[in-house]
Amino acid sequence: MVFVSTHQLDARRLLCPMPVIRVQDALAALAPGEILEVTCTDPGALNDIPAWCRINGHRVLDTAQQDNEIVIRIEAGDGDD
């Protein structure tokens, strides 16, 4: 059985481009396969973070939106893409 670490990132009340920059910094510290769960309030993050992940070799597992909060779960890639 494989256990995967899940890390939390609070990017609430940050405006573009700060949520993406915080995600970039957090993912740089994770091993491939680890999960980052980002909570943010900037509606642009719903498009910006997945786009940044595609370009940089990370995988968005899912997104959820409730009230004014967006939660994006990302699986860290190797960052070589």
Residue 64 near residue 49, CB atoms below 8 Å: no
Spatial separation of the C-alpha atoms in residues 67 and 81, rounded to whole Å:
34
Which whole-number Å values give the CA distances from 36 to 6, 11, 23, in the listed order? 6, 12, 8
53 is catalytic: no
16, 21, 29, 61: the catalytic one is: 16
CA–CA distance, 46 with 73 (Å, rounded to integer): 11
| Catalytic site positions | 16
